[in-house]
Amino acid sequence: MKKNHVIPDPIRNLYKKPGSRVKHGMTAIFVILFIVCCFIFPVVSRANDFETTAETFYYLDNPPTTKTVHKITIKNTNPTVYLTSYSLIFSEAEIDNVNCLSNSTSVPCVRYTENERTHIKVDFNDIVAGKNAVRHLEISYQNLSLAKMEGNTTDIFLPSQAKDDNSQNTIYLNVNKKLGALIYFSQKADSVSENGNYQIFRFRGDNLPKGVWASFGNTQYYNFSLGYRLSGNPRSLALPPDTAYQKIYLESILPAPKSVAVDADGNWIATFERNVTQVKVVGQIQVFPKPRLGFSPVSPQKEPSPATNRYWSITNPKLLDIAKNLKTPQDINRYVVDLLSYDKNKINQDQILRLGANVAFLSPASAVCSEYTDLFVALAKLHNLPVAEVNGYAVNNDLDLEPTLLGKNILHAWPQYWDGATWKQVDPTWEDTGGRDYFKSFDLKHVTFVIHRTDPVYPYPPDTYQVVFGKPFGDTPAEIKTKTGVGWSIFPLGLNLEIDLTNRGRTSLENESVKVSFSETEKNIVFLPPYGTYKTSFYVSPKAMINLTQKNPTVNVAGVKHDIIGIKTQVIYIFLITFFAPIIVILGLLLFLRHK
């Protein structure tokens, strides 16, 4: 089953300004080859009286301003006709600083709005006549309607070009490197190059029937404040975890947890005292557009047992038969996007019932994000593919293109799957509603709160949440210095030093070394969340024990040294027991035998 997607007018949906009027579905920019013609002889002008070659340059340096330059070459093919004026016509746009040159000479041009369209008209002061005579025209201006910046991310839309058999148009998007790397293009560029501070993307104008969406950025920061209500025993909750797409920086957890551990799904489970009923968590999330390769605190080697719950267990015979041919995540994603349709009427309902995969299949027009996700997860689990539901916050620009149920205090849901190297997130809901390919590339708008791989419901996401762009924009959070709490005990023979390391920093430790001053042995912390504890032990040789009787040892964690205070006294005590106890026993035995 194939469903046609209608992509709404991007200018209307993403860049519409208050009070502006843009007709839906209108071509964003096109060139009228001639408006008024003068004739050497009284003949009727036709479109093939001229051949036009155009190059359009977009310079993106300081969003939302985009400098646009049209370089147009007009060649006469009819010796009896010449141009007296030329016009560019757009869907209504916010432009400024219009300048026009004809054959390198400044010429008058006017900008005006008519019938909800913006016109730039150039009047020529000279005559360029004769067959094959050429006029070089340059029109430049600043456009405030094409680009939009949110936090550290820049989105831009390049409008489609009108088709004309007698014109050729090439488009160049020049993006300043300071705006970050390419996150997404709705259409692949014909060529990519660099020139100084610019990344340059080249397109053929006739190859852009719907225009081009593009997004740039390296990372995004969000400040969050989350509230939890606790009950039952144990008192625990799921903190936003590190994932392949995000890094967590905790400012505060009030009250502080007793411990934090990573569960089988990758969630950070914080445990509290039994009298705690409410918890507030404040921090910052750094989001990445691509997964961090190699990040996997939880091994996906074995998929949990086949789903038996009502959300992910497929029982419909027809769906089971269809699923036989959906063996890859890409096949599954394509099927889900084509089958389901987002039900916007549910946004107005007081209660939204989660349907599950079987009901979603039978009622494809009644889907919201949970149905897209549950059907994807259920089909993947049927083939034992490592997969999970992600529940979290999504920053949306337009409820038509990127719908969420945040107004109902229901978070957005999307799937993730293991591709053999990392966890990859996809969003079939937004791919269906917005037309963007979320399987090939992701974005910087999704924030993970909880991961459901083993259970479709637990752990719960936060009860209340507030997520805003991090401030100041573009600043990296301060360098984190991890504080460690060191606990130790020494076996009676003095052969091992046991150490408990508790991460008291704001962020997790990943692949960090642990060394002690008395040994060449090095241990490795694969992953340790804030408030998490790592237990290890080091062998203490007799020579090392003698050295430890003279000074306290140190433990080096992630390049930071920490003194193990008080160890010297205990080492002396154990040293005396270890080496002098046998002598005392022998002397005691000799005295006993002598008196006997």
With contact defined as beta carbons under 8 Å apart, do 61 and 173 qualify?
no
Query: Which tokens hold the place of 328?
Result: 């890859």
What integer pLDDT is reported at residue 579 of this predicted model? Answer: 66
- The model's pTM: 0.80
Q: How far apart are CA 182 and CA 544, in angstroms?
A: 55
Name the H helices within 194-328.
317-323
DSSP letter for 433, please.
H
pLDDT tens column, 157-203: 888 766 665 568 899 999 999 999 999 888 889 999 999 999 999 99
Query: Which tokens hold the place of 317?
Result: 């015979």
Choose between 470 and 212: higher pLDDT. 212
Return the residue matching tokens 């046998």. 582
For the chain, the C-alpha Rg in angstroms (whole number) is 33
With contact defined as beta carbons under 8 Å apart, do 80 and 44 qualify?
no
Q: What is the mean pLDDT of the chain?
A: 81
Name the H helices within 277-434.
317-323, 329-339, 357-362, 369-382, 428-434
Return the residue matching tokens 């005691």. 588
Average pLDDT estimate for 326-347: 95
Query: Which tokens hold the place of 115?
Result: 């019938």
**Residue 464: burial class (beta carbons within 10 Å; 0-12, 13-18, 19+):** exposed
What integer pLDDT is reported at residue 584 of this predicted model? Answer: 77
What integer pLDDT is reported at residue 24 of this predicted model? Answer: 27
Core vs surface per residue 492-501: b (16+ CB within 10 A) or e? eebbebebeb
Nearest-5° Cα angle at 362, 361 to 366: 85
Domains defined for the chain, CATH in brackets: 10-216 (2.60.40.1730), 219-478 (no CATH), 484-575 (2.60.40)
Average pLDDT estimate for 579-594: 75
Average pLDDT estimate for 265-281: 96
Average pLDDT estimate for 376-386: 94
Choose between 293 and 301: higher pLDDT. 293
Percent of the chain, pLDDT > 90?
A: 49
Question: Which uninterrupted H or E stretch holds 570?
Answer: helix 567-595
Q: Quick one: which of 280, 285, 302, 265 has its CA closest to 458?
A: 265
What integer pLDDT is reported at residue 349 of this predicted model? Answer: 80
With contact defined as beta carbons under 8 Å apart, do 263 and 269 qualify?
yes
DSSP letter for 207, please.
G
Residue 514 has pLDDT above 90, yes or no: no
What is each CA distance from 336 to 304, 322, 330, 571, in whole angstroms? 22, 12, 10, 65
Core vs surface per residue 290-322: b (16+ CB within 10 A) or e? ebbeebbbbebeeeeeebeeebbbbeeeebeeb
Choose between 152 and 332: higher pLDDT. 332
Residue 29 has pLDDT above 50, yes or no: no
pLDDT tens column, 35-77: 333 333 333 345 578 899 999 999 999 998 999 999 999 999 9
Question: Which uninterrupted H or E stretch holds 204?
Answer: strand 198-204
